[in-house]
Chains A and B, each alone.
Chain A
Amino acid sequence: MDGLLLGGLGFGAAIIMIFLEIPVAVALGLVGLLGAAMIIGFAGAMTIGATTVWESVTNYTLTMLPLFVLMGNLAAHSGLSAKLYQSMSVLFGHRRGGLALATIGASAGFGMISGSSLATTATMGRIAMPQMRQAGYSKSLSAGSVAAGGTLGILIPPSTVLVIYAFIAEQSIRELLLATTGPIFLAILLYCLAIWVPIWAGWSTAPQHARAHREERRAALKELLPPLAIFGLIMGGLYSGVFTANETAAIGAALVLAYGFLSRRLSPSGFLEAVRDTALTCGALYLVMIGANLFNFFLALSGLPFALTGMFSGIIDQPLLVILLMLAIYLVLGTLMDSLAMLLLTVPLFVPVAQAAGIDLVWFGIFAVMVVEMGLITPPVGMNLFVLKTVSPDIRLTELWKGAAPFVTADFIRVAIIIAVPAIVLWLPLNAM
């Protein structure tokens, strides 16, 4: 069979398998192994399989994943994440839309730890939604802020999705992590507007509440200091070049562990739970990397990425059109699968096209991560919205769409801004030490 046709069929088969809820690693790995076997023979494919497993489990760059996951789990079991929502509620709850802001912040924090928008939406939907509803917030605003908040965490360092992109696209993880800074600040600003504009316009309700007592606010600020200090220390080390990205992950895990034990917030059983959760997550993540590498190899053998670059040849000198086309594809895929699955499927195909169009691959990584997350909250079929619907069945879908609309608009504006001003993404990686 023609390699190109085989590549296309393999790509389609992977999408169908993922849609049928076959594990992403297994779908990609099986298609990769069997597809490669059809091109270079069974023995050759098995040799590639063995090499891929060995290279994945001994890869130094990938050691960052367990270390970042460990750091996140230690933070969660030290109560840092829960304190984040409580403290932000105390500090911002009295402002109009303050609880929605706190939800965005806490969802971003939780997303950072869990690495999955869907898990964040499901969890925060159960924690923050009842509080906002009780405080008189409209259903649409409550739902929109939970659904959108989850998408933000994936971009905030330590972003496991970015580590995976760096591995597949062979880009510097340090540069990618630095490149997230501008888009994160932009996202926070635009999400604040996405909360406030509908309130000002009277489309959603968010009653103001009495300001917390000074002591309460002081205590809340005090609670926020340790996580901010740890985050500042490790990111400062990374920005200044004192630590490599791997060292940042290890130092971060050690600092959170030290904080947890010294503040007596991390019990021995909490520590064991954090390590156990890390092991569970990392087994799955390493399998995903093995599957993605096999799939990558098969696609390269089939010649599909080069054919795709050829198909784009008519517009390859117009990077804007290339980007808009990719944006449309990601939005459609967002209706079918999670962000990680989308990235694993598309990065091997899109990176050569982006390269041929002269698009910086660090910029493209940030763009891709932002856009796959957008797909998850874009009506009518963003997956985060469906997850929220299952968590809060009394919310109608139209209310969910209404709630998500301002945040989707904010995301579109953010993407438009980074397309128009790529320096927002690239300035820091190009100028940091």
Chain B
Amino acid sequence: MDSPPLKKIVPNSFLAAAGICFLFGTAVTVCDVVLRAIAGTNVPGAIELTSLSIGLGALLSMPVCYAKQGHVSAKLLSELAPARFARPFGLLGSVVSLGFAGLILWAVGQNALGKAGSPETTPDLGFPIPIALTVVTLALLAAFLAAMAGVWFVVRNEKA
């Protein structure tokens, strides 16, 4: 039996991890509401826990968005004349996206390096900011690599 190719396993793993983060965020908020209604108390740090878990989920889903060209875009000309416009616009979009992913990675990476060793923590949960920034940088590095893969797929006219 053929094993699933890497280009299926990697995006599915990212999406699964992102999905778990979203479900965790949902569960925390629902538990908070239920606890408030029943016991008049709250889940400690519920707002921050929800924000961080859902934010992490969003970051983990970005690489797949770059690789599969799943961005929000105004497809007018390629809807009207797919044969003429879909490929050149797809290529242009993927190359420019790679540039953007690189710039964002540069910006966040530099900031993370600057904050290395800082004692700063998040206000409610006390989570160390340098670790959080490292996680964000790693996710954006994955997004940059995925954007490179995205260009590769478009050049080869392959589906991600």
Residues in chain A within 8 A of chain B (CB atoms): 17-27, 29-30, 33, 45-51, 53-54, 56-60, 62-63, 66-67, 70, 118, 243, 246-247, 249-251, 253-254, 272, 275-276, 278-288, 290-291, 336-338, 340-341, 383, 386-387, 390
State in angstroms the CA–CA spacing of A26 and B66 once bound together: 11
Given the contacts A30-B103, A49-B104, A280 and B15 also touching, CB distance less than 8 Å: yes
State in angstroms the CA–CA spacing of A386 and B79 once bound together: 8
Closest to B37 in A: A242
Q: Are A279 and B19 within 8 A (Cβ)?
A: yes
The residue from B26, B64, B106, B112 contacting A283, defined by CB atoms under 8 A apart: B64
Tell me how far the C-beta of A53 lies from the nearest C-beta in chain B, rounded to whole angstroms.
Answer: 5
B7 within 8 A of A: no
State in angstroms the CA–CA spacing of A276 and B52 once bound together: 19
State in angstroms the CA–CA spacing of A246 and B33 once bound together: 11
Q: Are B19 and A275 within 8 A (Cβ)?
A: yes
State in angstroms the CA–CA spacing of A33 and B33 once bound together: 39
What are 25 A-B contacts defined by CB distance under 8 Å?
A: A19-B74, A19-B77, A22-B97, A23-B73, A33-B107, A47-B107, A51-B111, A53-B108, A53-B140, A54-B136, A57-B58, A118-B79, A246-B29, A253-B26, A254-B26, A278-B19, A279-B15, A279-B19, A279-B57, A279-B64, A280-B65, A281-B70, A283-B70, A284-B71, A390-B79
- In the complex, what residues of A have CB within 8 A of residue B14's CB? 279
Q: Are B61 and A279 within 8 A (Cβ)?
A: yes
Other A-B contacts than A282-B57, A288-B72, A337-B74, 12 sampled, CB-CB below 8 A, are A22-B96, A23-B72, A23-B96, A53-B136, A243-B33, A249-B29, A276-B19, A281-B70, A283-B65, A287-B62, A291-B100, A340-B72
Q: What 0/1 readout, one digit per residue, does chain B (82-112) give for beta carbons within 8 Å of chain A?
A: 0001000110110011011001101110111
State in angstroms the CA–CA spacing of A5 and B56 once bound together: 38
Tell me how far the C-beta of A162 lies from the nearest C-beta in chain B, rounded to whole angstroms.
Answer: 16
Closest to B28 in A: A250
State in angstroms the CA–CA spacing of A276 and B106 once bound together: 29
B80 within 8 A of A: yes
Binding site of A, secondary structure by majority: helix, strand, loop or mixed? helix
- In the complex, what residues of A have CB within 8 A of residue B80's CB? 386, 390
Q: Are B55 and A30 within 8 A (Cβ)?
A: no
Q: Are B136 and A57 within 8 A (Cβ)?
A: yes
Tell me how far the C-beta of A189 lies from the nearest C-beta in chain B, rounded to whole angstroms.
Answer: 31
Given the contacts A24-B72, A275-B19, A290-B104, A283 and B62 also touching, CB distance less than 8 Å: yes
Q: Are B74 and A336 within 8 A (Cβ)?
A: yes
- In the complex, what residues of B have CB within 8 A of residue A25's CB? 71-72, 100
Q: Are B100 and A26 within 8 A (Cβ)?
A: yes
- In the complex, what residues of B have CB within 8 A of residue A20's CB? 89, 92
State in angstroms the CA–CA spacing of A23 and B108 once bound together: 21
Q: Are A21 and B74 within 8 A (Cβ)?
A: yes
B134 within 8 A of A: no
- In the complex, what residues of B have CB within 8 A of residue A275's CB? 15, 19, 22-23
The residue from B92, B99, B100, B106 contacting A21, defined by CB atoms under 8 A apart: B92
B155 within 8 A of A: no
Tell me how far the C-beta of B131 lies from the nearest C-beta in chain A, rounded to whole angstroms.
Answer: 13
State in angstroms the CA–CA spacing of A51 and B112 once bound together: 11
Tell me how far the C-beta of A342 lies from the nearest C-beta in chain B, rounded to whole angstroms.
Answer: 9
Closest to B51 in A: A60
State in angstroms the CA–CA spacing of A51 and B30 once bound together: 29
- In the complex, what residues of B have CB within 8 A of residue A63's CB? 25, 29, 50-51, 54-55
State in angstroms the CA–CA spacing of A5 and B137 once bound together: 34
- In the complex, what residues of A have CB within 8 A of residue B68's CB? 280
State in angstroms the CA–CA spacing of A395 and B144 once bound together: 43
State in angstroms the CA–CA spacing of A399 and B139 once bound together: 49
Q: Are B61 and A59 within 8 A (Cβ)?
A: no
B59 within 8 A of A: yes
Q: Are A30 and B22 within 8 A (Cβ)?
A: no
- In the complex, what residues of B have CB within 8 A of residue A272's CB? 19
State in angstroms the CA–CA spacing of A428 and B70 once bound together: 37
Q: Are B74 and A50 within 8 A (Cβ)?
A: no
Q: Are A387 and B107 within 8 A (Cβ)?
A: no
Q: Are A286 and B74 within 8 A (Cβ)?
A: no
State in angstroms the CA–CA spacing of A60 and B156 once bound together: 40
- In the complex, what residues of B have CB within 8 A of residue A24's CB? 71-74
Given the contacts A275-B19, A279-B64, A336 and B76 also touching, CB distance less than 8 Å: yes
Tell me how far the C-beta of A112 lies from the nearest C-beta in chain B, rounded to whole angstroms.
Answer: 17
- In the complex, what residues of A have CB within 8 A of residue B26's CB? 67, 70, 250, 253-254
User: Top 4 nearest A-B pairs by Cβ distance?
Assistant: A283-B61, A23-B71, A49-B107, A50-B111
Q: What 0/1 readout, one digit per residue, does chain B (109-128) give for beta carbons within 8 Å of chain A?
A: 01110000000000000000
Closest to B61 in A: A283
- In the complex, what residues of B have CB within 8 A of residue A50's CB? 107-108, 110-112
State in angstroms the CA–CA spacing of A18 and B80 once bound together: 16
The residue from A254, A286, A386 contacting B58, defined by CB atoms under 8 A apart: A286
